[in-house]
Structure 1
């Protein structure tokens, strides 16, 4: 079976944006982990949101699933939402901080 390229999965996640902040979820530090099961063609993404009770949580998760499923050899994607550890601005990349005028 052909393998799923982790770099392509990360590229797909870089195309997912928080609807309220004009920065992708990777640079915001919302992605906590990616597990790839090449035997089954599945990707499991563990992520968080900037705030509990985010009204667009379902939209963000659906976009992550959709974009990852578009990656070659991916048959399915599951997104797990966690708030442990809680997100904080320290998780953002320098690029995100620059984009938001925080540096």
Structure 2
């Protein structure tokens, strides 16, 4: 299991308001492993909606713990800087949103 695998799994987690995954939206800033049973994700949201952040965190945890055997802890840290903007999005996400 490596970072690439985690990012691929997180591509299954949709931002509910736009319906596009959190990786292509550029919401995931960093993935790191504390050890083989513990992963940390640093990310942001498009706005400061705490309910949206909670939903995304829950969805990400469910996605990872459902697919990674023996994963004990998913630590998701939301940061406000750097602030998200449309430049964070992948070309694919921009295409889907017709930007």
TM-score normalised to the size of structure 2?
A: 0.89
Structure 1 equivalent of residue 16 of structure 2:
19
CA RMSD of aligned residues (A): 1.4
The 8 Å contact of residues 3 and 32 in structure 2, kept in 1 or not, is answered as no
Listed as ranges, the gaps of 5+ residues in structure 2 are none
Structure 1 equivalent of residue 45 of structure 2:
49
C-alpha displacement at 1:73, in angstroms? 4.1
User: Residues of 1 paired with 2:71 and 2:50: CA distance?
Assistant: 28
User: Residues of 1 paired with 2:9 and 2:69: CA distance?
Assistant: 11
User: Residues of 1 paired with 2:10 and 2:70: CA distance?
Assistant: 16
Aligned length: 98
Structure 1 equivalent of residue 88 of structure 2:
91
Q: Give the structure with the higher percent helix.
A: 2
Listed as ranges, the gaps of 5+ residues in structure 1 are none
The runs of at least 4 consecutive aligned structure 1 residues that moved more than 6 Å come to none
TM-score normalised to the size of structure 1?
A: 0.86
